[in-house]
Structure 1
């Protein structure tokens, strides 16, 4: 994120749009906490809380998005969105301009790894400049595509389904569900968990956010918690970057508190938390209580130490220092690790006896990728996955459609081809090709392509500046 003063997001009474911005980012973090709560909720309590889940409003994005990315794993991806709607009880936060649609400045992809190994909240900065696709609306009309626009413009233009489509287009990660939250339930959620621990590096008495706390540790909730997450001038260096980090720590502390035995094993506290959160939620209609129960079965053993918070790899936009852009190739490599995040099948935990793999590192292997799958963009996606594994990649173009994936090699490329072939589930036998460049491996991607075996053990690499729910709340203050 950019620390340029012109880039700062104001949340006090001096803001150009104070009512529209207020309380924004934390609601996205709270929605992560609520989703995590759904994941780890006790199954024995499921029947007691089913009625509370009936508070949730549902929408159907499948009818609006159209073609979706292919799912390569059994992970679960839930897009968490904040909405500044003024409908219903949210009118207390001020009136929107006439006919102005709700906006979303908080977009976080909650990635739940297969088997309950880990969960990650991936934040997309609201000023991220990317292509915005044309989106179908509920009334049957469509929005115009933009070759370059702020990512939050997708929500304003077409709501949750358009933001889902936009993120799928840049990441090729299939989004399974969405959770949209407005900011009215925030104070109730923080109170329902019994307050959230925070650590202040100095005394704060800020009349703009109305936060008044002494230096050191505190447990805050309700109005005080809302003032804390709004505060910008009273803490840190006043930058948006600094405040986001502080809010990530708050989210981690909230999730850690919600996942503690004191909340989840106490039926009264758990019911209070779910009721506080679900009244503020809209989700896709497929995110039913039954699906939530399945999530709990798969992820119930996850500890808060396995919950990570990151920002998608990005940096200053070359065209506008007050905006940000994806940082490449880091962003594509990161998206690839999300797409290919898999549990390791038992039969692949170790090499088979008598079949040692050639000891040539991927960095010494040049691969030319051809698309014979019949799926648009498949060669580029496979190329991204290969690059994430360290291969040197050149995406060439299309070949006639074929079912079987093939590995070809030129003179001196037999061992390199064997390394690549060993990473493909169908293990195609490398074939010599006289017309191929010496030492170069050619991969012809067929319709049977799934993913690389090595991706199953690679996991999601640690990201710069990531935060865990169990981190010391005073670190970095």
Structure 2
């Protein structure tokens, strides 16, 4: 039966709704943050949670992240992980450098439903455009071009947060920061971390002495391993990141070990060490952590991997790099649009209607939910999958549920749209243009069907379940 809407309505009016520092680059702090979210699910007592929550040092970032932020497109969780090289307090023994820097920056992305996690490293030598940043005292640091780790010096974690969002267009939910002393506490709480080195190491500057081969490091030895600059590799930042990711993978593997997950006492001791060692935004509340923990109980080391943002030499300085946008953008896009939720079967249009390819579908996308930019973002995603976008507009009223409507002769095109956007059943509409499909996004949203390999593999990535000696 046809919908009898206004025959004089134009394309923009869909029908009514029918119903340095530099030594702290080993990313050990990332291991800390990842470990806490991966094992917290085994600690359920509310009292214990309250005690742990009270140990976290939190900072209010209200008003410092700006208004023009990326929209959140799905139910994933993105946490910015920052390694601080502060020499204050118990960190003073590692030198007297003033201030603090973030020579380590990682974006931890946890897919909807806790299906998998990926840590994306941003090399400190990357030359990038940084947005203006507001400091705690209210003063503003103007926008500038420089090394990515300068953002933390300019305006603390809020500035690093703004910079990563501006570079990736990925919405960040929270941040976590760790220093030297916190790193040692967490490694010791794990009982040490297994590493593998290709030869004997004797580096007095890093206080590091190791025999060749597989071994477990704790405390100062673990910190020395992550701090050494010249004892291993070629000394480049990219080479260190690769080695550091192997270390992080080993930490996650240890933290998700069944012995840890089934021993409440050991789990509590570990999480206590973590919460005493981190600083976070005040939005990372107890309820958020409990919700996160509940969603991650089934995650194993094999579902955690580490990648580095694809880079290329910076033409003006051989000691610096810049993002390789052709390779980096597909990674950022996959994280932005990661909708890896339980599959829903596409709703058939009618009896065995054969859908046409996306390139043959002319579609108008309309925002009937009232969320700014929703129609354009959805249209961009559909265009990325090959659909012809002929119109993006705002509906003349709010709609509770999403609709797929089609004009005469567009039944097979609507069938293809129903595959791309599972849920709404396509309906013919007399006022529609012949051969056209209309996607009207209601307040229940328009979730695109999951594509295989949503977050693509990246050359050189490290899985947390790998053997520590695999690439030694």
TM-score by length of 1: 0.79
Question: Which residue does the alignment assign to 1:296?
Answer: 293
Question: Which residue does the alignment assign to 1:9?
Answer: none
Aligned length: 445
Question: Which residue does the alignment assign to 1:470?
Answer: 465
State whether structure 2 residue 236 is matched by structure 1 residue 235. Answer: no
Question: Which residue does the alignment assign to 1:125?
Answer: 123
Question: Which residue does the alignment assign to 1:89?
Answer: 90
Structure-1 separation of matches of 2:444 and 2:418: 12
Aligned-pair CA distance for 1:275: 3.0
Question: Which residue does the alignment assign to 1:135?
Answer: 133
The equivalences for 1:268-279 within 5 A come to: 268-279=265-276
User: Runs of 5+ in structure 1 lacking a partner?
Assistant: 1-18
CA 458–252 in structure 1, closer or farther in 2 if over 3 Å, else same: closer
Question: Which residue does the alignment assign to 2:108?
Answer: 110
Aligned-pair CA distance for 1:114: 1.8
Question: Which residue does the alignment assign to 2:456?
Answer: 461
- Higher Rg of the two aligned structures: 2
> Retained in 1: the 8 A contact 2:410–2:437?
no
The equivalences for 1:10-159 within 5 A come to: 20-37=21-38, 39-44=40-45, 47-48=47-48, 50-67=50-67, 68-97=69-98, 100=99, 102-146=100-144, 148-159=145-156
- RMSD of aligned residue pairs (Cα, Å): 3.7
Structure-2 separation of matches of 1:428 and 1:319: 55
Question: Which residue does the alignment assign to 2:381?
Answer: 385
CA 352–157 in structure 1, closer or farther in 2 if over 3 Å, else same: same
Structure-1 separation of matches of 2:432 and 2:52: 63
Structure-2 separation of matches of 1:300 and 1:94: 40
Aligned counterpart in structure 2 of residue 199 of structure 1, from 191, 196, 199: 196
Aligned-pair CA distance for 1:105: 1.5
Aligned-pair CA distance for 1:80: 0.8
Question: Which residue does the alignment assign to 1:7?
Answer: none
Higher relative contact order (CA 8 A, sep 6+): 2
Question: Which residue does the alignment assign to 1:189?
Answer: 186
The equivalences for 1:67-466 within 5 A come to: 67=67, 68-97=69-98, 100=99, 102-146=100-144, 148-345=145-342, 348-350=344-346, 352=348, 354=350, 358=354, 360-362=356-358, 364=359, 381-382=377-378, 385-386=381-382, 389=385, 391=386, 419-420=416-417, 422-424=419-421, 450=445, 453-455=448-450, 459-466=454-461
TM-score by length of 2: 0.79
